[in-house]
Amino acid sequence: MHSLLEQLTQRQWLWQGSALPAAGQQLSSGYAEFDRQLGGWPASGLLVLQSQPAIGELRLLLPLFKQLQQQGLLGLINPPQLLQAEPLAAQGINPSQLLLLSGVSETDALWAAEQLLQSGLCRLVLLWQGTLARKAARRLQLAAQAQQALVLQLTTQQPELTLPLALALQLLPQPQGLQLKVLKRRAGWAGQQFYLNWQDEWPELYPVLSRTQTALAETA
C-alpha cells in the first residue's frame, strides 16, 4: 500500500492536505499575494488562463517573462493584437528573446507550440487558443515536461478541467488589479479566490481609490 501511495505521489496524482509543491518546482510570480496563495507558478507543464482580452493578463505574466527570458526564448503564438517591442523593452523584456507567430490556424498553432517545446529553445510558450482537445493537451503537456518548460494557453472560453493541467486560473478585472479564481490546481484545492492590487506597481494606470472602494473591490 505504501509503495502504491509513493508511486501516485511521485506522478503528482496524489497530494496530502493543502501542501504546496516544493520551492524548486515553483517559479515566483513577482506578486507576493500570488506566491502566498499558490506558491508561485508551476515550473513546467500546461497552464490555462481564462480571461477576456486586455484586462491585464499580460501584466500578470511580465515578471514571469523577465525571469524565464534568462533561460531561453519566449514563444508567442497568435496573440490577439500586435505586440510592440518598445513597451515590452520598457518593462524589461528583451525583444530578441521573443519568437512571434501570428495569423496561423489553430491546428498549425498547436503544431508550432509542440515543435518549439520539443526543440528546447523556448522556456515558455504562450498560445492564444480557443479550446484544447484532450490529445493536443496531452502532447503539449508531455513536451513541456520533457524539456522542463511551460506552455500557457490564454483563452476566453471555460477550460476543460479534465485535461492534464498543472494550473487553471480565471481572471476577472477589478478597479485596481485582478481577481483570480483557481479552477484547477495540480497540488491543491480548486475554488479559492484572491485579489492582486497593482496600484503600487502601476500608479499611473490605477488611480488611488478610497479605502471603502478598495475594500469593496477586494471582496467582490
Query: What per-residue confidence (pLDDT) applies to 87?
Result: 85
The pLDDT value recorded for residue 211 is 46
| pLDDT of amino acid 81 | 83
Residue 88 lies in a domain: yes
Does residue 55 lie in a domain region? yes
Sign of CA dihedral 57, 63, 66, 67: negative
User: So what's the pLDDT on residue 206?
Assistant: 64
Tens digit of pLDDT at every position of the chain (220 positions)? 455 545 544 544 444 444 444 444 799 999 999 999 999 999 999 999 999 999 999 999 999 999 999 999 999 999 988 778 888 898 899 999 999 999 999 999 999 999 999 999 999 999 999 999 999 999 999 999 999 999 999 999 999 999 999 999 999 999 889 999 999 998 778 899 999 998 877 777 666 554 445 454 555 5
All three cell numbers of 218: 477586494
Of residues 181, 163, 150, the one with CA closest to residue 37: 181
What is the number of residues in the chain?
A: 220
Q: Is residue 18 part of a domain?
A: no
* In-domain check, residue 2: no
Domain count, the chain: 1
Is residue 20, in this structure, part of any structural domain at all?
no
CATH value at residue 187: 3.40.50.300
Give the domain extent around 117. Answer: 27-219
* Residue 215 CA: distances (Å) to CA of 45, 112, 180, 212, 218: 35, 44, 16, 5, 5
153 domain residue, yes or no: yes
- Report if residue 16 sits inside a domain: no
CA-closest candidate to residue 154, choices 68, 96, 81, 70: 81
Within the chain, residue ranges assigned H as helices are 2-10, 32-38, 57-68, 85-90, 106-119, 134-146, 211-219
Judge contact between 180 and 35, C-beta under 8 A: no
Is residue 15 in a domain?
A: no
Tell me what pLDDT residue 82 has.
77
